[in-house]
Amino acid sequence: MPAEQQLREKVRQALRSGRLPETGPERVLGGLGSGSRCAICEAIIAAGEIELEVRFRTGGSSQTLHLRCFSIFEDERRHPSGLQLSSGAREGA
């Protein structure tokens, strides 16, 4: 499985190209891997891994994702890392 930075880049590409919508999931179903291909890292989700079937609000489409890829997708969707939150710069308290 690719490193986290590579996964984040794939997520950003998928968001930019519209392959994954920014509207967020309507429903997420989890289970064990069934040999489907992950829509983000494009690897087969093995039987020993957690597979999520994510249905999006846009167009009723669903995608199969690794649990880890999904969490990175959610993170990038909500907090695009292009914005680069500078840590420690806002310590006002």
Size of the site for Zn ion (CB under 5 A): 5
Identify the helix (H) or strand (E) that includes residue 37: none
Measured from the CB atom, the residue of 16 and 44 that comes closer to Zn ion is: 44
35: left (phi over 0), alpha (psi -120 to 50) or beta: left
Rounded to a whole number of angstroms, the minimum distance from the CB of residue 87 to Zn ion is: 27
Describe the chain by its helix, strand, coil percentages, rounded to 5. 30, 25, 45
Is residue 38 part of the contact set for Zn ion (CB under 5 A)?
yes
Rounded to a whole number of angstroms, the minimum distance from the CB of residue 46 to Zn ion is: 11
Q: Which of 69, 70, 73, 76 binds Zn ion (CB under 5 A)?
A: 69
Site for Zn ion in 1-20 (CB under 5 A): none
Upper half-sphere CA count for residue 77 (Cβ side, 13 Å): 16
Chain residues binding Zn ion by CB under 5 A are 38, 40-41, 66, 69
